[in-house]
Chain A
Amino acid sequence: MTASPAWAVVPAAALVVVFAGAAAALDGVLDPAGRGRPMSGRLGRPLWETARLLRQRRRTTVAPDALLWRAGTAGPLVVALLMAVVVPVGGITVADPPVGLVWFNALDVALWLTVWAAGWGANSVYGLVSGYRFLSQALAYELPLMFALTAPAVAAGSLKIGQIVAAQDKTWFVVRMPAAFLVFLVAVAGFSLWGPLAYPAGRDLAGGVLAEPSGVDRLVLLAGRYALLTVGAGMSTALFLGGGAGPLLPGWLWSLLKTALVLAGLVAVRRAMPVLRADRVMRLAWLVVLPVTLLQLLVVSVLALGGS
């Protein structure tokens, strides 16, 4: 994996934005409410929505915690872009530090603060309750996510994303650790407030953390959600799907194709089931998912012993 000059952040960020926009377009296409309408109108949904929010006035509430609120709404987008730094595309990456995996993990924990702040800052009951909803949801997905991240690290003997990708030259890690792969995808939906894990942005509380922001504030928050889904899909490609490995096509194209496929799956799952409430899934998360992930890690560790 080659390190890149600092200007590489510009194409990397652009790539995230393009994929996030494509995910939003796909969501528009899959929306049953659009069935029977012209495809151009459905594909263009991110354009219509962006235009709408750029035109819409911003709002402030009575005695908000303005700093926390604005930092919270912009936070997910910033976090997603910072995550993208360590996500490789083929053999290229913006940075491949020896602790790349820990960087990703640390940033996903930073979302605890930003989403909570986005809910709390507006001094609105629905937002406040939803900020805490995110924390309770995070308590359910975060530990399985951490152990799911550890599994590829143990198998590769490294926290460097480049080496984790390189260690999959024979078999992709998804073969050895399917449970970790699945847990990782669920956690990506969790920190992106997406689909069944959109509990903190619930329609039952007028959109939850989205109840108060309008205009550009809402735009950056919604864009952050899609950007998080995108880098999550990109990271899953690197950690479990062999990164840029594949026949005929160049590595960067394989990376992008796999990322697009995972991203499409994540977008599609939104229509498949209702929202999971944190209090209902907590026992499942701690008594089934967590032990299964640990068991997965044990299997991976024993295999790593045999492989040395």
Chain B
Amino acid sequence: MQAVVNAGAMAALAVAAVALLYRLHRGTAVAADPLRAAPFLSGNLPQQHAMSRFHVRWYALTMLFLAFDVEMLFMYPWALVVPQVGVKAVVEMFAFLGVLMAGVVYAWREGALRWS
């Protein structure tokens, strides 16, 4: 329980430190309020909002990543029981990882790892 309390204390300290820095800045900056300016666009005025539906060209990779990421959920508990379960644990986990790596190779062959 002490760990949770201490982590909470650090979170509070971090937020307080940032808040204090911002408070200090109000006193030391040449002007306390932020300057409103157009976003920097190499010396041009923006014609549209930058926030837009961004074309994420590596979307296929995110699927691949997700497969491994879910696998990580098993990985951490597995790490604790390797010596107890023995060879079976290692074989099963690396067979699973092998299947995922086969997926990576397939995705590579399909061109998911290059996008420009």
Q: Which residues of A contact B (CB under 8 A)?
A: 3-10, 12-13, 54-63, 65, 74, 77-78, 81-82, 84-85, 94-97, 99, 101-103, 120, 122-128, 132, 135-136, 139, 142-143, 146-147, 150, 153-154, 157-159, 206, 211-212, 215-216, 219-220, 278-279, 282-283, 286-287, 290-291, 294, 298, 301-302, 304-305, 307-308
User: Is B46 in contact with A85, judged by CB distance below 8 angstroms?
Assistant: no
Please state if B30 and A56 are interface contacts (CB–CB under 8 Å). Answer: yes
Closest partner residue, chain B, to A98 (CB atom) = B3
| Chain A residues in 8 Å Cβ range of B37 | 59-61
Please name 21 pairs of A and B residues whose Cβ atoms are closer than 8 Å in the assembled complex, sorted by A. A4-B6, A10-B13, A55-B28, A58-B25, A59-B34, A60-B34, A82-B11, A124-B41, A125-B50, A126-B39, A126-B40, A126-B41, A143-B68, A150-B75, A212-B40, A279-B58, A294-B97, A294-B101, A301-B82, A301-B89, A302-B90
> Which of B3, B46, B72, B76 is in CB contact (< 8 Å) with A97?
B3
CA distance A146 to B97 in the complex (A): 13
User: With A54-B25, A78-B14 known to touch, is A139 a contact of B80 (CB < 8 Å)?
Assistant: no
Tell me the B60-89 residues at the A interface (CB within 8 Å): 61-62, 64-65, 68-69, 72, 75-76, 79-80, 82-84, 86-87, 89
Chain B interface, DSSP helix/strand/loop, else mixed: helix
- Residues 95-115 of B, flagged 1 when their CB comes within 8 A of A and 0 if not, give 001000100110010000111
- Which of B3, B29, B82 contacts A157 (CB under 8 A)? B82
Known: A9-B10, A142-B65. A62 touches B40 (CB 8 A): no
Residues of B in contact, count (CB < 8 Å): 69
A-B pairs with the 7 shortest C-beta distances?
A124-B39, A308-B83, A216-B25, A95-B3, A97-B3, A58-B34, A153-B79
- Once the chains are docked, how many angstroms separate the CA of A5 from the CA of B101? 45
* Bound-state Cα–Cα, A136 to B34, Å: 31
The distance in angstroms between the C-alpha atoms of A58 and B23, with both chains bound, is: 12
Residues of chain A contacted by B93 (CB below 8 angstroms): 301
Known contacts A6-B2, A125-B39, A283-B113; 19 additional CB pairs below 8 A are A55-B29, A55-B30, A57-B30, A59-B34, A63-B49, A94-B7, A136-B58, A139-B58, A142-B65, A154-B82, A215-B25, A216-B29, A286-B64, A286-B108, A286-B113, A287-B105, A290-B104, A291-B101, A305-B82
